[in-house]
Amino acid sequence: MQHVRIDTHRSSADTDEQLRRDVREGLSAERKRLPAKWFYDARGSELFDRITALPEYYPTRAEREILVRESQAIAAATDARTLVELGAGSSEKTRALLDGLRRHGTVREFVPQDVSASALTAAAEAIAADYPGLDVHGVVGDFTENLGVLPGTRPRLVVFLGGTIGNFLPAERAKFLRSVRDVLAPGEWLLLGTDLVKDPRTLVRAYDDEAGVTAEFNRNVLAVLAERLGADVDPADFDHVAAWDAEHEWIEMRLRARRDLVVRIPGADLEVSFAAGEEVRTEVSAKFREDGVRTELADAGFALEHWWTDAEARFGVSLAKA
Ligand code: AVJ
């Protein structure tokens, strides 16, 4: 008998309200922007899974290489009884960690958290089926808001993988890391995945693939606005843009209007004009250096105990102690 439980910490009405606020704020700003989290409806989560298999999109493979190689070291360093995964998505790479923790013999519970109920439920069930005896307690919610109570027996290992921390702006990052630190007891753990600064061509290609899957993923945020807020937007009116910002060391994804447009968004009580060529920033994906990660962790009250990269030093995984 499998132990799977899913708690929903936010209703779809909460979600609509937050989307409405983000859209009103972001699309009435002088430089238009939308938060990256709105990509991930069922279709967006599926498109992201396709991105992770693209030849140009190396972060998933590089991180998996590290997790497979180091899972036993992570288990031995942490003695984790609970594995908490923030922004779990399909939880594919988590299996490498669970394998290591299982072999070590301490882990009892897996707590995946994600905004996408569909992705989370499927992942929770698949993991429970493949790891008999593991209690799986999924949490549907926004990890930037619902960290107040973190379930699970101590010591807990909170993992935040994929480089998703790069979607936060620096101030948001500091706040997020601090909020993770605040829900942990001294001696508990954070495992953090960060994509690393590298040559801009490789970076831009990873966000602008030949097959156009990332372009479709980017435009999917417009489909989300159409679906949830009734926006009369045609995704084909926007071009996908991926650009390296060398000053901030982040990739920006943008949507660029192909012509002058007026988009009505009744669900947000908003009408937005775009001049031909005008862009909306839809994602920031920051890239990191070891020193910067160490400093940001320290500022949040974490000590960096291990730093691992893949063989090509494209991606970094940090194990930090609260
Ligand atoms: C899931 C946030 C880590 O920033 O690389 C992939 C999302 N965006 N291609 C990233 C994404 C475009 C991805 N994260």
Chain segment 188-222, per-residue pLDDT in tens: 999 999 999 999 999 999 999 999 999 999 999 99
Of all protein residues, the one whose alpha carbon is nearest to atom 12 of ligand 1 is 207
Q: What is the dihedral of CA 293, 51, 44, 91, to 10 degrees?
A: -60
Q: What is the best residue among 283, 284, 288 to mutate for testing ligand 1's pocket, by most ligand atoms within 8 Å of CB?
A: 283
Q: Is 287 annotated as a binding residue?
A: no
Residue 37, CA distances (Å) to 44, 218, 293 in order: 10, 11, 22
Q: What is the pLDDT of residue 143?
A: 61
Complex ipTM: 0.98
Are residues 303 and 297 in contact, defined by beta-carbon separation less than 8 angstroms? yes
The DSSP symbol for 134 reads: -
The DSSP symbol for 305 reads: E
Of all protein residues, the one whose alpha carbon is nearest to atom 2 of ligand 1 is 164
* Per-residue pLDDT at 1 exceeds 60: no
pLDDT tens for each residue of 145-195 = 666 667 888 999 999 999 999 999 999 999 999 999 999 999 999 999 999
* Per-residue pLDDT at 72 exceeds 80: yes
* Per-residue pLDDT at 12 exceeds 80: no
* Per-residue pLDDT at 88 exceeds 90: no
Instruction: Write out the two tokens for 97.
Output: 């960690």
Q: What is the best residue among 37, 91, 167, 173 to mutate for testing ligand 1's pocket, by most ligand atoms within 8 Å of CB?
A: 167
Q: What is the pLDDT of residue 119?
A: 79
Q: Is 142 annotated as a binding residue?
A: yes
What is the tally of helices (H) and strands (E) in the chain? 9, 13
CB atoms within 10 A of CB 256: 15
* Per-residue pLDDT at 10 exceeds 80: no
Q: Is 296 annotated as a binding residue?
A: no
Query: How far, in Å, is the centroid of ligand 1 from the Cα of 36?
Result: 9
Which atom of ligand 1 has the smallest separation from the CA of 206? 9
What is the rounded CA–CA span in Å between residue 286 and residue 195?
8
